[in-house]
Amino acid sequence: MSRPAALFDPLRGPAVARIAGPPGRPSEFSDPLVRLLAAVPARLDGRPLPRVVAVTTARESIGLLLSEPRVDPAAGFEAIDGGLTWTAEPLTIGRTHPGGGGCGVPWPLLVPFGRVVPDGPAVMANLEELGGLELSGEPADVLALAESLAADLAADRFGGHPGVVCVNCAWELDALDAVRVVTSPSRALADAETHRRRVDAAGAQWASLPELRRHGIRGTPRPLVIIDPHGHDPQSRARLLSLAGPGLAVVTATHSQDPTAGAGPRRAFGDRWRLHVNGRSLRWEPVGVNLRFGDQPSPTFVPDLRIAAPEPSSLREAAGRTAAGPPPSAAEVLPGAVELQVLGVVQAAGAAVPFTSQRALDLACYLAFHRDGATVDKLRYWLWRRGGPPPRAKTLANVVSRARVCLGRDADGEPYLSYLGADGVYRLSEQVTTDLERFASWRKLADRAPPQQALECLRAALRLVRGAPFGGGSGETFSWADASWRSHVEYLVDSTAHRLADAALDLDRVEVARWATLRGLAITPDCEQCYQRRIAAARRSGYRREVDLVMRHMDELQREPLPELDDLATGALEGVPLA
């Protein structure tokens, strides 16, 4: 797997396969629903976009539920309910409309709410049009729904690259590139205020955000979703809801005793948008429909206390002066002009052109891990299956050329990937670095720093880990890493998790210790030393239920507890209150 296993699996369709062209040019979509929605702007023949509240999908028809009536539907659609709903037959999906294509879906914040009870259509709501969505119900149910919505947004089915900020949600969400988990509503509020100013400036300069997306305008702000499934701070909650609107959606819990309840923006149907959650049953108001949500997260192995991934301190603080010896340099942990990131799905940050060839990315990574360079024969041997015929000289030359173009050139105009030298070797510039080098630099800084700063350094190192190393390959790519690098990187991550957990326990930073063990288990799920430290953190916190869950999970794995865990068997914490 390229990422830690997701605990969030709502009822979704197949993942979208999207081929994105350069900004301002059409994109190709293999997902039928995405393809249809991306074609709606062209089917309007220049008329303004409708304000879409939700999209319904059934075997017989596709429907767009609008917040205001429009009796001039797009070509292929029919207006019903006085223009509040546009419907189209599924046969229209995939048909090319003259001038169609589009630059993407103008409504990227569509998320699944479930199916209309008992056997009605599936409903996807447009969080951007809703603006503010208030959740009510049992806290556990609200939290599960909110986390599932965050995971769906991170999947980016509709190509809008949304950002998601979650307040005190499960740590697994923080492993997703689009999601950031914070520990206080004030941090989310600061992000929302900054984003609101940016979106308002863009809207004042050009047009509404859906129209900007329709035309593929460069610099269009990406949508942001703030999710606070707790809503404990009424003032922050009210302020967040007041900021909701185009480009910024807010999902928050509401409480009957909260004096600010109902302070959200009033939209269609003359009332605010609310979802009452009861297990997998939802009541959507003011629409007045009952929905059945998809499968909720399994609580089998999730601690009751949801500890968010601790946020790193600033670079200067984390790499502060040591008690003895020369001060660590922040330059040691900064990325190069181009950074090849292998601690998760392999990607190239800062590349001049996005890598569309996995083989070219594979070659660049191989050279980044072999700084002395590689000959043509060595590249043929390590990058292609040894059971098959070797690649032709032209094939290899094309791969090298693609990698060179994607990596780009330095300030002097020299390519980061050299041409074949007199010694017959290809080399990468020192300005092309890897996230593993940064990871190692943070570890070295931790060796030279006092305890508190060492903890910050180790935490910064672990935050670079997005998933299983060298992920996202096709099976033939990154196979050279199997020889030693993959296991070596897994060992480094695992041992760093142990070091951070131990340092955190010594400093009584229990939440950091728990987060470190969960990060380690995401990469090495059978590491008993991670389990040992996780149970120690749970015991220090007094969460007996988490201890029992960990022990039960180890039993399911048919693993014997380490000797250090013998005193933590079920019943060992009698008298300690449940979490």
Nearest to 523 by CA among 548, 555, 488, 550: 488
Domains, the chain, ranges and CATH? 18-300 (3.40.50), 330-434 (1.10.10.10), 437-568 (1.25.40.10)
Convert 29-76 into a string of H (helix), E (strand) and C (coil). ECCHHHHHHHHHHHHCCCCCCCCEEEEEECCCCEEEEECCCCCCCCCC
Q: pLDDT value at position 502?
A: 94
Tell me the C-alpha distance between 160 and 156, whole Å: 7
Q: Please report the pLDDT score of residue 386 as a whole number.
A: 64
Q: What is the pLDDT of residue 28?
A: 44
**Blockwise average pLDDT, block size 10, the chain, 579 residues:** 32 33 41 75 83 83 86 85 80 47 70 82 89 91 88 82 89 79 89 89 67 71 91 87 90 69 44 84 88 50 30 38 42 81 91 91 93 90 74 88 94 92 89 93 90 91 89 80 86 94 91 86 85 85 70 66 44 33
| Cα distance between residue 30 and residue 19, in whole Å | 8
Query: What is the predicted pLDDT for the residue at 479?
Result: 86
Beta bridge partners of 278: 281
Supply 426's token pair: 């290809």
Structure tokens at 352: 């001049």
Global pTM value = 0.48
Half-sphere exposure of 387 (CA within 13 A, CB side): 2
The reported pLDDT for the residue numbered 577 is 31
**Residue appearing with tokens 């799905």:** 345
350, 337 contact by CB (below 8 A) = yes
d(CA 153, CA 493): 28
What is the pLDDT at residue 46?
A: 79
Cα-based torsion angle of the residue sequence 7, 10, 12, 16 in order, rounded to the nearest 10 degrees: -40
As beta bridge partners, residue 471 has: 345
CA distance 240 to 262: 13
Distance of CA 83 to the CA centre of its chain: 36
Of residues 160, 157, 133, the one with CA closest to residue 146: 133
- 149-172: burial string, b at 16+ Cβ within 10 Å, e else: bbbbbbebbbbbebbbbbbbbbbb
For 189, half-sphere exposure in the C-beta direction (CA atoms, 13 angstrom radius) is 14
- Outline where 66-207 has alpha helix (H): 127-130, 139-155, 185-205
The identity of residue 309, as a single letter, is A
pLDDT for the residue numbered 80: 81
Sign of CA dihedral 56, 57, 63, 64: positive
CB 62 within 8 A of CB 88: yes
Strand-pairing partners, residue 283, are 276, 290
pLDDT of residue 409: 93
